[in-house]
Amino acid sequence: MALLQVEDLRVRYGEVAALNGVSLHANKGEFVTLIGANGAGKSTLLRTISGLSRGYRGTISYQGSRIDRLPVHNIVSHGLVHVPERRSLFPDMTVAENLKLGAYRLKDKSSFPSKMAQVLDYFPKLEERKYQLAGSMSGGEQQMCAIARGLMLGPELLLLDEPTLGLSPLLVGMLGKIMKTLHGQGLTIILVEQNAHLALSLADRAYVLERGAIALEGTGKELASSDSVRKAYLGL
């Protein structure tokens, strides 16, 4: 049984259809990536999984039970953590406070110090910036802080929406390594990326989303060698 199973999901914003029947799944421990053009519906898909948006049809099951009608905070407490593309930090709080609040729903409070040490080890930059207000950091630093905050809860499934957006090539490389490490430790990841090279090299399995529907599915290798993907997303 898949950890996450999405069936025939349909979402619209008023009259605008954003998802027209998307089905996908992620198995436990799998690294799934999602690529697609601007406006294809990638963010909408993640937002609907985490409960920020609602579909009008279709189902979302997580760990075998339906979550598509649960409130966001309830979904989070099951270990499904979403790091959205737009800034989600608390700008007038310090980095340390943001990270601490990230562990708000942590069930085993005694693991808090080790979680904190762990994410600061992943993102040493945040250690330096611990007492700086989150809103006063650069876009890239905020991005790292948002991911770090998402990890504080000790997620089972991590939804990442364009985490490399606005990061320097050096940091993109670093983030790639961190995602690989997390995956190696057994975390299930669904990654949305514009950077198709990175996405397909990391992925166990990947989906191409076009105009609100899944156009292609395959292993990272398969998609990287597919003609249409090479033309449309890898610029080859």
Partner 1 sequence: MSDLIAQLAVFGIVNGFGYAIAALGLTIIFGVMRIVNFAHGEFYMLGAFVAATLIATTGVPYLVAIPLSSVVVGVIGIASERVFIAPLHNRSHLTLLLSTLAISMIFLNAAELIWGSAPRVITSPFEESLYVIGPVFLTGQRVFIVAVGIVVVVGLGLFLKYSTAGKIIRATAQNPEGAALIGVNIGLVRSMTFGFGCGLAALSGALLAPISMTYPVMGQALAIKAFAVTILGGLGSLPGAIIGGLTLGVVEAIAGGTLSTAYRDLFSYAAIIIVLLLRPQGLMGAAR
Ligand X SMILES: Nc1ncnc2c1ncn2[C@@H]1O[C@H](COP(=O)(O)OP(=O)(O)OP(=O)(O)O)[C@@H](O)[C@H]1O
Q: Which residues bind ligand X (CB under 6 A)?
A: 13, 16, 18, 36, 38-44, 85
82 binds, among partner 1, ligand X, Mg ion, none (CB under 5 to 8 A by kind): partner 1
- 228: tokens are 């249409």
CB of 15 to ligand X, least distance (A): 9
Centroid of chain to Cα 156: 12
Residue 89, phi-psi category: left (phi > 0), alpha (psi -120 to 50), beta (remainder):
beta
Total of residues contacting Mg ion (CB under 5 A): 2
CB of 27 to partner 1, least distance (A): 24
What residues from 85 to 104 belong to the interface with Mg ion (CB under 5 A)? 85
CB of 232 to ligand X, least distance (A): 13
43 binds Mg ion (CB under 5 A): yes
Residue whose CB is less far from ligand X, 35 or 126: 35
195 binds Mg ion (CB under 5 A): no
Residue whose CB is less far from partner 1, 157 or 223: 157
One character per residue 101-120, x = contact with partner 1 (rule: CB under 8 A): xx-xx---------------
- 215 and 24 Cβ atoms separated by less than 8 Å: no
One character per residue 79-98, x = contact with partner 1 (rule: CB under 8 A): --xxxx--xxxxxxx---x-
- 160 and 146 Cβ atoms separated by less than 8 Å: no
CB of 32 to ligand X, least distance (A): 16
- 118: tokens are 């762990």
41 binds, among Mg ion, partner 1, ligand X, none (CB under 5 to 8 A by kind): ligand X
Amino acid identity of residue 215, one-letter, is: A
- 152: tokens are 């504080």
Strand segments (E) across the chain: 4-13, 16-26, 31-36, 57-62, 65-66, 80-83, 157-161, 188-192, 205-210, 213-219
Give the DSSP letter string of 63-112.
TTEE-TTS-HHHHHTTTEEEE-SS--S-TTSBHHHHHHHHTTT-S-GGGH
Residues at the interface with partner 1 (CB under 8 A): 50-52, 71-73, 76-77, 81-84, 87-93, 97, 101-102, 104-105, 149-150, 153
Residues at the interface with Mg ion (CB under 5 A): 43, 85
